[in-house]
Every structure is written in C-alpha cells, then in structure tokens.
Amino acid sequence: MSHSSISSSSRTACETIPLGKLNATYSGWVYKFSSSSFIKSWKRRFMVLSDERLYVFKDDHPQCTHHSVIDLTTFRSVQQITNPRKTKFGLLLRSMRRPSVFDDPKAAPQELFELELYVDSESELNR
C-alpha cells in the first residue's frame, strides 16, 4: 500500500519517500510560517531539494517520511526578504495559485501564493 502527500496551491501529490532514499541536491533546517492551524506560528522543518521539488520533513532521521512536498516548477520568483520577520536570513518564493475546478473561469487572476523560509545563518542560506 502506498501513501501520498497531497495539499493545495503549489504543493503536489507524490508517493511517500523516506528521507534516506532521496537524491538531495541541498538539504537543511529552515523556519516555515504555518498558517494551517488555529494558532499561526513558525515551525522548524528539515527541507530537501530534489528533482525540482522541496520535500518538507519534521525530523532529519533517514527513515522519516516527508510531511509535505512543494513543486518548485510552479514558482515564478525567489527573492531575499528585505523586512524579515523571523531571522535576517530569509527567502520568499512566489507563485500564482493553481486554478481549481471550483474556480469561476471568468474570475480575476488567481491570488498570489507565497512561501517564506528562514535559516539561522548566512552560510545556511548560501548552501
């Protein structure tokens, strides 16, 4: 039986893969703003860049499976954050939200989807 991770916007569905099985281009700990729960907060997550996807883990143990996956091909820009909210080392990824079958085809352009990521040091940002 295979498990999959599915969520909205620029996130994608894919088969669950343990961290130890990924061919990582880059990996490391980041702070990600979480607005999915009742209380909005910063969550420290281990992220792995592999095959145009950003895999999000709650732990860096090799057997840990990903919490979510973000398809980076949907993003149109990456910027350094000029007014940081968490640490002074951050990136902002921007994409237009993917259309849904529930969207009105005559509606205005889709809303902007943003992902804020922060690291503790400049060396982690430049990896």
pLDDT at 9: 40
pLDDT at 104: 59
Q: How far apart are CA 123 and CA 8, in angstroms?
A: 31
pLDDT in tens, 53-112: 888 888 888 788 888 888 887 777 777 777 777 677 777 777 765 555 555 556 555 556
Q: What CA–CA distances, in Å, run from 60 to 9, 46, 51, 53?
A: 25, 6, 19, 17
How many domains does the chain divide into? 1
Q: How far apart are CA 118 and CA 124, in angstroms?
A: 9
Name the percent of the chain lying above pLDDT 90.
0
pLDDT at 80: 74
**Domain ranges, residue 20:** 4-125
CATH number at residue 63: 2.30.29.30
At 23 the three-state DSSP class reads coil
